Amino acid sequence: MAINIGTGTTNNMIDLYTWTTPNGRKVSILLEELALDYEVHAVNIGAGEQKTPEFLKISPNGRIPAIVEQETGLALFESGAIMLYLAEKHGRFIPSEPLQKARVVEWLMWQMGGLGPMAGQGHHYLHFNPGSSEYAEERLSTEITRLYRVLNERLEGRDYICDEYSIADMACWPWVSRYEWHKISLDDFPNVKAWYLRLAARDAVQKGYDVPKKLVKFH
Ligand SMILES: N[C@@H](CCC(=O)N[C@@H](CS)C(=O)NCC(=O)O)C(=O)O
């Protein structure tokens, strides 16, 4: 994999290292919403490309997503950190007013520390390896259902998770898009369902969801 480590140039291209997973899609959806120039580098996590010494130079935790911003030379991993950086830099999808901003960060952290890790483990036990651990299935299913309930309650009377469409919505949406893997019926969570369809109707969400388009490397 060719890693293009930024050195600080006039080139405002962002290199996005990603795969067809919720954490990757969070960032491609934001890049689409911000209408930024970015080049997609598919990192096949099934083939272990995320653990190569070259990739670890920009993502030392050995996971996607990561970006390299050519203009500044910044290499950044952790989807939440990437989203905060890009949203703040471009002054969009995160409020500047501290109290409102805290609310967006709160729900972003809820996704990073709750929905993402629990649903991610759920993919292993509920979707890919059902029957391998009754205990894990029961525990994850209970917790994931609880998290959908929390989101459903938050969305009561709201179009978006916070006052306006924000990175909190973009962070949660690709996880909820795997509701079938979570053995969740969105009909049981009507506010989540309405929000899910509201975001699905956005062009940027559809485009960002579709990254990388092909399951082959394209540098
Ligand atoms: N907290 C990290 C989690 C990243 C993560 O778990 N990425 C997964 C794909 S969604 C990955 O790269 N898995 C490959 C592996 O575990 O080796 C983030 O939000 O960026």
Q: Residues with beta carbon inside 6 Å of ligand 1?
A: 21-23, 45, 50, 62-65, 78-80, 112
pLDDT tens, position by position, 166-193: 999 999 999 999 999 999 999 999 999 9
At 18, is the secondary structure helix, strand, or coil? strand
Atom of ligand 1 nearest to the CA of 21: 10
Per-domain residue ranges for the chain? 14-92, 98-202
Average pLDDT over residues 87-108: 98
Q: Residue 214 has what pLDDT?
A: 53
CATH topology for the 14-92 domain: Glutaredoxin (3.40.30)
Q: Residue 7 has what pLDDT?
A: 62
Q: Residue 219 has what pLDDT?
A: 34
pLDDT tens, position by position, 109-152: 999 999 999 999 999 999 999 999 999 999 999 999 999 999 99
Average pLDDT over residues 190-211: 97
CATH architecture of the domain with range 98-202: Up-down Bundle (1.20)
The pTM score is 0.94
Report CA(43)–ligand 1 centroid distance (Å): 11
Under a CB-based contact definition with an 8 Å cutoff, are residues 50 and 97 in contact? no
